[in-house]
C-alpha cells in the first residue's frame, strides 16, 4: 500500500512540474509573434539562410538556427554566423532551451 501512495505522490509532482513547464513554454512562445519552421530532407540550412536574408532586408528582428554537422546561429544585428559549440555528448534538448 505504501508503494501506491508513493507512486501517486510522484505522479502528482511529475504532473505539476510538467504543467509548469508547459505554461513557461507557452508564455515564451507568445513573445515571438512569428515563427517559421523549416523541415524536410535536403536544403533546410539553405532555406533558413534565404528566409533570414529576406526578413533582415525587410528590417525585421530575426533569429535563425541551423543544426547538423555545422550548427550555426544567425541574428538580425550581426553579419557573421555564430557557431554553436557543443559538449562531448553532442546535441541535446538543453541546446534548444538556451535559445
The pLDDT-based confidence of 4 (bands split at 50, 70, 90) is very high
Main-chain dihedrals φ then ψ at residue 83, nearest 5 degrees: -70, 145
Q: Which residue has the cell 533570414?
A: 52
Task: Using alpha carbons, select from 66, 61, 73 the residue that is nearest to residue 37.
Answer: 66
Q: Do the Cβ atoms of 17 and 10 come closer than 8 Å? A: no
Sort strands 63-66 and 72-75 into parallel, antiparallel or unpaired: antiparallel
pLDDT band at 13; cut points 50, 70, 90: very high
The pTM assigned to this predicted structure is 0.63
- pLDDT tier for residue 19 given thresholds of 50, 70 and 90: very high
In this predicted structure, the answer to whether residue 86 has a pLDDT above a threshold of 90 is no
Average pLDDT over residues 2-7: 92
Q: What is the pLDDT of residues 69-81, one digit of tens each?
A: 778 888 888 888 8
- What are the residue ranges of helices labelled H in 1-99? 2-30, 44-57, 93-98
Amino acid at each position: 500500500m505504501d508503494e501506491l501512495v508513493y507512486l501517486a505522490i510522484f505522479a502528482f509532482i511529475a504532473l505539476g512540474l510538467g504543467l509548469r513547464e508547459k505554461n513557461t513554454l507557452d508564455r515564451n512562445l507568445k513573445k515571438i509573434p512569428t515563427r517559421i519552421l523549416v523541415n524536410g530532407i535536403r536544403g533546410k540550412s539553405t532555406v533558413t539562410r534565404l528566409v533570414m536574408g529576406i526578413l533582415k532586408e525587410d528590417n525585421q528582428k530575426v533569429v535563425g538556427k541551423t543544426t547538423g554537422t555545422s550548427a550555426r546561429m544567425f541574428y538580425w544585428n550581426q553579419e557573421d554566423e555564430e557557431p554553436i559549440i557543443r559538449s562531448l555528448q553532442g546535441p541535446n534538448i538543453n541546446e534548444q532551451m538556451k535559445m
